[in-house]
């Protein structure tokens, strides 16, 4: 198939899933065209089946905000026509689903039909999408998509509960590429970070409020008081400054390392003993799955799609959002008991294997074929 993928090209989860999916499809012989404003962060190598079309709008003094949607729609029309695409797959509903609908309508005026699959990722429904500023367009463009997928059962249900949807939504879970995400020996990193054999706790995110990273720091404080340990904070975003201040205030600066955005996250996960994800909202929790693939148990909140990924008492523990005491108690329990840690590590890997890209990718291929056949 010839597939156009539209996504945010950043380190955000939806962009990562879209890029890994595109690379996986290209490996299986499909021709994949990424259409976005910058090369996706994880699109780092040449591949004979992968193409990138940069969307660049014209700036003009009248525009306070350059009209990206219009530039993207025009680019989609151009790429669908000239690359002869079979399907557009847009990741994150806002604004991609609405823009794809507009491109589809423009192409129809020339007698060309291109089916559109929209994948809902999370905040496009749970936070941003529900906002009155976007909700009518989100509802309309989901209903006008030829196919709709959600990355967890919880997100599917939330979408149906909160929007008036007359479409079927298929759940296709996020996935993991084990050729990259596996535990590797990085003992020299471990020695540098935890020279006295301290336990290493890790958190990876885009440092937004919804991730509740202050809870990560408070949980770590409790753990540190009982178990010699270090905390790795990987990623960057608007909350970083507040978090640095919090570390200073509670005197933990020497035990917490802010590592910023990292490309080789798997190397850092490989030296970690526990992953923390106390989010206020999480449709799936791809970062937790990546940790589990590297044999790291997870302490998380029990919100959204997290219970579909992290199994309570097996691969880690789940607590109510904000229940720092419970999260800390569970973290200490795992970290103090080497046998339990070993068991949880093994379970985490086994659970991650259920989300192997080799099993999930064919679900997208089948779905594309159904959507194309229906169009």
Residues that bind ligand GMT (CB under 6 A): 12-15, 17, 92, 121-123, 126, 151, 174, 206, 208, 210, 281-286
Backbone dihedral region for residue 323 (phi beyond 0: left; psi -120 to 50: alpha; all else: beta): beta
First to last CA, the chain: 15
| Residue 255 to residue 335: CA distance in whole angstroms | 16
Nearer to ligand GMT, 114 or 155 (CB): 155
Nearer to ligand GMT, 107 or 306 (CB): 306
Cα pseudo-dihedral 120, 123, 126, 131, rounded to 10: -110
Nearer to ligand GMT, 31 or 282 (CB): 282
CB of 237 vs ligand GMT, minimal distance in Å: 9
CB of 52 vs ligand GMT, minimal distance in Å: 19
Radius of gyration of the chain (CA): 21
| β-sheet with 31-36: strand ranges across | 50-54, 31-36, 2-6, 87-91, 116-120, 147-150, 170-171
Nearer to ligand GMT, 31 or 124 (CB): 124
| Residue pair 85/120 in contact by the 8 Å Cβ criterion | no
CB of 279 vs ligand GMT, minimal distance in Å: 6
CB of 343 vs ligand GMT, minimal distance in Å: 26
CB of 122 vs ligand GMT, minimal distance in Å: 2
Nearer to ligand GMT, 149 or 229 (CB): 149
Nearer to ligand GMT, 77 or 122 (CB): 122
| Residue 84 to residue 51: CA distance in whole angstroms | 13
Nearer to ligand GMT, 17 or 72 (CB): 17
Q: Which residues pair with 118 in a beta bridge?
A: 90, 148
Nearer to ligand GMT, 37 or 189 (CB): 37
CB of 225 vs ligand GMT, minimal distance in Å: 30
Using CA atoms, how far residue 229 sits from 199, 241, 343, in Å, is 4, 23, 20
CB of 240 vs ligand GMT, minimal distance in Å: 15
Strands 50-54 and 31-36: parallel
| Residue pair 212/283 in contact by the 8 Å Cβ criterion | no
Strands (E), the chain: 2-6, 31-36, 50-54, 87-91, 116-120, 147-150, 170-171, 199-205, 229-235, 256-260, 274-277, 298-301, 316-319
CB of 355 vs ligand GMT, minimal distance in Å: 11
């Amino acid at each position: 198939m010839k597939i156009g993928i539209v996504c945010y090209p950043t380190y955000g989860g939806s962009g990562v899933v879209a890029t890994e999916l595109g690379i996986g499809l290209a490996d299986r012989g499909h021709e994949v065209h990424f259409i976005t404003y910058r090369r996706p962060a994880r699109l780092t190598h040449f591949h004979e089946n992968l193409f990138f079309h940069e969307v660049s709008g014209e700036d003009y003094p009248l525009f306070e905000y350059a009209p990206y949607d219009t530039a993207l729609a025009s680019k989609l029309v151009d790429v669908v026509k000239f690359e002869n695409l079979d399907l557009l797959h847009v990741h994150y509903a806002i604004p991609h689903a609405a823009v794809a609908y507009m491109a589809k309508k423009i192409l129809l005026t020339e007698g060309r039909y291109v089916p559109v699959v929209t994948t809902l990722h999370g905040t496009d429904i749970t936070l941003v999408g529900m906002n009155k500023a976007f909700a009518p367009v989100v509802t309309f463009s989901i209903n006008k998509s030829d196919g709709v997928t959600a990355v967890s059962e919880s997100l599917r249900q939330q979408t149906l509960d909160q929007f008036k949807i007359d479409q079927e939504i298929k759940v296709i879970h996020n996935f993991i590429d084990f050729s990259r995400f596996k535990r590797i020996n990085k003992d020299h990193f471990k020695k540098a970070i935890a020279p006295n054999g301290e336990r290493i706790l890790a958190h990876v995110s885009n440092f937004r409020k919804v991730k509740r990273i202050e809870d990560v720091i408070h949980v770590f404080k409790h753990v540190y008081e009982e178990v010699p340990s270090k905390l790795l904070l990987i990623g960057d975003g608007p909350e970083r400054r507040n978090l640095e201040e919090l570390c200073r205030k509670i005197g933990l600066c020497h035990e917490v390392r802010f590592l910023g955005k990292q490309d080789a996250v798997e190397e850092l996960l490989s030296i970690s003993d526990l992953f923390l994800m106390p989010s206020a909202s999480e449709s799936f929790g791809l970062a937790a799955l990546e940790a589990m693939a590297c044999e790291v148990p997870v302490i998380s909140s029990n919100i959204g799609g997290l219970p579909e990924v992290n199994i309570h008492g097996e691969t880690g523990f789940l607590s109510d959002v904000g229940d720092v005491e419970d999260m800390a108690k569970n973290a200490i329990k795992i970290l103090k008991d080497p046998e339990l840690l070993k068991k949880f590590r093994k379970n985490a890997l086994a659970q991650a294997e259920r989300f192997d890209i080799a099993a999930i990718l064919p679900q997208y291929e089948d779905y594309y074929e159904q959507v194309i056949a229906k169009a």
